[in-house]
Homo-oligomer: A and B are copies of this chain.
Amino acid sequence: MEHTPPFYASVDVRNAGFKLAPVDTSLYPGCWNTLTPSMMPLAVQAAMAAIEKICPEARNLLIVPENKANSTFYLSNLAQLRRIFHMAGLNVRIGSISPSIKKSTTIELPNGESVTLEPVIRAKGRLVVKDFDPCTILLNNDLREGVPGILEDLHEQFLLPPLHAGWPTRRKSTHFKCYEEVAKRFGKLIGVDSWLINPLFEKCSAVDVSTDAGMQTLRDGVDSLLGKIKKRYKEYGIKEKPFVVVKGDNGAAGFGILTVRDVKQLDVLQRKASGSAPTLAPVHDLILQEGVLTNERINDAFAEPVVYTMDRYVVGGFYRVHAERGADEDLCVPGSSYVPLAFAESTHLPQPGVRPGASAPNRFYMYGVIGRLAMLAASYELEATDPEAEH
């Protein structure tokens, strides 16, 4: 009630059985095409509520996508987003900021639909496409490459989410700091140790992995975090081997994701930096995150639930499934193939009286609760990083 939820979000959740925690929160979610048809009415209704709250008079919506005109999977995501907001009562067009889209370009999709990408035009304080002046702009682009000038100072239009939700401003460590606060308050409220829903983390700023000093800082950080996790595992009698996931703090760009059970595994970074990868900048802001095992299986493959929210509503989710990766590995690897598998049931209807997680409805409901906590954390985060906020 006291905070403004992010316009939309997707939350990667990991269910270790003994622990259930978010490991990543996207504020420009893709993969909307993966939700089942039965979740569409919920998404449409949530879109109506979200638009009503922010700009009730909205008629024209311009979606600004990633520059991925070659990915039919991504374009199917755009088609689904367009459908959701069209069904919610808006006129929707897709305005590309890609330099390669010089004129209106229609691309056929495998299911027979098509998507038309139109080049955006900057008209003074407004972003438009030909013959279409939107009152609201929906970013589906995480701005990983930086904020393009054409999106700046759009004071006459609603820009959703705001630019500071993009990776040039966002830091995963800020998000998880906020999440920690939310998890502690929630844990206190329901009387459980917040560690059971909160992944421990350390921030490791400006680490130069090409120097011995930088590597030592990193090794110390990982060692300290592994020690903290070990202590918790001992406390709860957990026999698994702790691990730490090392990621770039400002999104996945450049650094990639590394799973570490032993500090020796970090040596690969130094070799990379000094060796055959000259494009890899040696200095990184890193986040060291407690690894959370995933115990969900679909046909023997490891699966990671992803929860989708719009405004304050959980609208659905899916499993990211990867047959060739292990329970401790990140399943969202650039370039790797995975099978998105929609949740069979909504996240709205727990079965009271049945053990948490025992039935699919209750498992999905739990994921929805964790997704909502991460969404609340994102709202704290966006408030704290708002460049226009009065502090």
Contacts and interface: CB of A to CB of B under 8 A. Distances in A.
> Which residue of A46, A348, A349 has the most chain B CB atoms within 10 A of its CB atom?
A348
A45 B44 contact: no
* Copies of the protein in its oligomer: 2
A351 to B, nearest CB: 11
Contact of A349 (B40, B48, B52): B40
Contacts of A87: 348-350
Interface string A50-63: 00100011000000
Contacts of A1: 56-57
A41 interface: yes
Contact of A41 (B42, B48, B56): B42
Nearest to A57: B1
A349 B57 contact: no
Contacts of A263: none
A101 interface: no
B46 A45 contact: yes
A283 interface: no
A38 interface: yes
Interface string A330-365: 000000000000000010111000000000000000
B45 A42 contact: yes
Nearest to A86: B352
B45 A313 contact: yes
Interface string A76-108: 000000000001000000000000000000000
A49 interface: yes
Contacts of A38: 38
A46 B87 CA distance: 16
Nearest to A311: B49
Contacts of A350: 87
A87 B314 CA distance: 13
> Which residue of A37, A45, A48, A57 has the most chain B CB atoms within 10 A of its CB atom?
A45
Contacts of A57: 1
A89 to B, nearest CB: 11
A361 to B, nearest CB: 10
A57 B349 CA distance: 22
A372 to B, nearest CB: 11
A106 B329 CA distance: 52
A87 B347 CA distance: 11
A348 B49 contact: no
Contacts of A46: 45
A30 B103 CA distance: 55
Contacts of A37: 349
A42 B348 CA distance: 9
A97 to B, nearest CB: 27
A356 to B, nearest CB: 16
Interface in A5-58: 37-38, 40-42, 44-46, 48-49, 52, 56-57
A56 B1 CA distance: 7
Interface of A: 1, 37-38, 40-42, 44-46, 48-49, 52, 56-57, 87, 312-313, 346, 348-350
Given A1-B57, A37-B349, A44-B349, 10 more contacts: A1-B56, A40-B346, A40-B348, A40-B349, A41-B42, A42-B45, A45-B45, A45-B46, A45-B49, A48-B312
